[in-house]
Each structure stands twice: as C-alpha cells, then as structure tokens.
Amino acid sequence: MGAVRTPLIAGNWKMNLDHLQAVAFVQKLHWTLKDAKHEDGSVEVAVFPPFTDLRTVQTLLDADKIPFALGAQDLSPKDSGAYTGDISGVFLAKLDARYVIIGHSERREYHHETDEVVASKVQAALRHGLVPVICVGETAEDLEKYGASAVPVGQLKTALADVPADADIVVAYEPVWAIGSGQAATPDQAQDVCAKLRAVVAESLSADAAERTRVLYGGSVKAANIASFMREPDVDGALVGGASLVVDEFAAIIRYQKHVGV
C-alpha cells in the first residue's frame, strides 16, 4: 500500500492476571524490552488487562514512564445508567485508556454479541476518544459454508456503517478456527483477508483511512511465526492472546523485527 504505519503489538490478557500480577508482568516486560533497546517507538506495544487491573496498570505506566499504551477489553454501548456490570467509555477515557477491544470472538460467541451490538460499541468508543480495535473473523463452519473472508468482511461493513471518515480505528482479523488451536492461518491466508478488510475501510470510510488504518492478525500468534505474518504488506501487527501472558514470549513477539530483517 505504500503507507508508513507503526506496527501495533497488542496483548489481550483476557480473564487472567490480578492487579498485583499485572504490575509484576508490566515491570518485567518493560525491563526486558529496555535491556534489548527495543522501546524506540518502532513498534507500539499495548496491553489489555482485566477491568480490575486498569487503574493500577495506568498508575504504573505513568509513574515509571513506561511507553506502553493501555487498552480495555470491552465497553458498554451506553454511557451511563442502570446497566449493572457494564463499563462506560466515560470511565475508560478517565483512566487514559487509548484502545478498547470490540467484537472479540469470545464476546460474540459467549455473550451473543451481534454485528449491530458491535457497531453500537464502536460508536460508544469514538464518542469518548477511544480507538476501537474492531475484531472480525470466521469460525471453521463459516469458512466451509461461505468461504474465506466473507464473514469478516460482512462484520466489518456493519461495524463501520456510521463511522466518520476521519475516525481513528484498528481492525483485527481473528480466524476463530485458529484461536487456541496452536494452528495459525498461513501468512498468505492472513494477507488475503487483511487486504480485503483494508478494502472495506476504503469503501466505507475513504482511501486515506484505509492507508492509515492498522490491520492486525490474531490467531495463535507466537514468537515462532510473528515474523512471517509481519512480512505481509497488509498485516500491521498482532492481537496476541495466550502468548501475551508469558513475558519472554511476548517480548520476543514485540521484537519480531530482528527476524524480519527490517
């Protein structure tokens, strides 16, 4: 595409690590990357801890001037009111969260979030200056029934229906059939879908938006395969699940450039 997009490596901790464990993890990750002289801004690192960890991690990042971005794992489509257990984008913005994951495959499956719910959460994020990390992807059944890319393309079109052309967004492609299986998509498969998702951004928002939007791959990402994905022109980073819970492994993923040769 020719655009210069700072790669984003995002660690989604899901329902793991309490606030004390999160502090220890962030400190160790910071030390590991600092010792390797890999906090030069060439790769953006973002961590997505559980809600109960957010304030503690935010305080640590600020106090120690750790150059990681903070993200939340979900938010409510509502800004306030009688919605027990929900988390408002207002609250996340007050914690200096930069990102929020929306439409993760687990939310879609276990909480039955529809494409329309995902779209409403994207709007909620944008209202409060949060960058939505819009997750799209297909199950093995979807893949067999509709073919590659059809489902994630449809999901993204709905999510972007009312998004302004100048909005700052991130798109994350999750092949659900690969998550947790140890079997990732091939780099060619990831590139094909990510390119089609970028085309959706161009069609729904603008060509400029497509050029600047980062499209991530997420599905059994590990240190051993990250470089092969990052060589692809339309893969701008990774949404990392289980591997982001192991400091040395996550640090190696962040340091993928030494394997890519850039």
Residues classed as catalytic: 104, 174
Which residues sit opposite 104 in a β-bridge?
none
Q: How far is CA 248 from the centre of its chain?
A: 20
Contacts of 85 (CB under 8 A, 6+ apart): none
Which residues sit opposite 12 in a β-bridge?
48
**In degrees, to the nearest 5, what angle opens at C-alpha 135 toward C-alphas 141 and 18?**
110
Which residues sit opposite 134 in a β-bridge?
102, 171
Q: Indicate left, alpha or beta for 27 from its phi (over 0: left) and psi (-120 to 50: alpha).
A: alpha
Q: How far apart are CA 262 and CA 257, in angstroms?
A: 6
- Written as one string, the DSSP assignment of 209-251 is HHHH-EEEE-SS--TTTHHHHHTSTT--EEEESGGGGSHHHHH
* Structural contact between residues 9 and 70, judged by C-beta atoms closer than 8 angstroms: no
Report which of 255, 220, 252, 256 is spatially closest to residue 239, judged by C-alpha positions: 220
Report which of 155, 205, 152, 203 is spatially closest to residue 175, judged by C-alpha positions: 152
Q: How far apart are CA 188 and CA 228, in angstroms?
A: 9
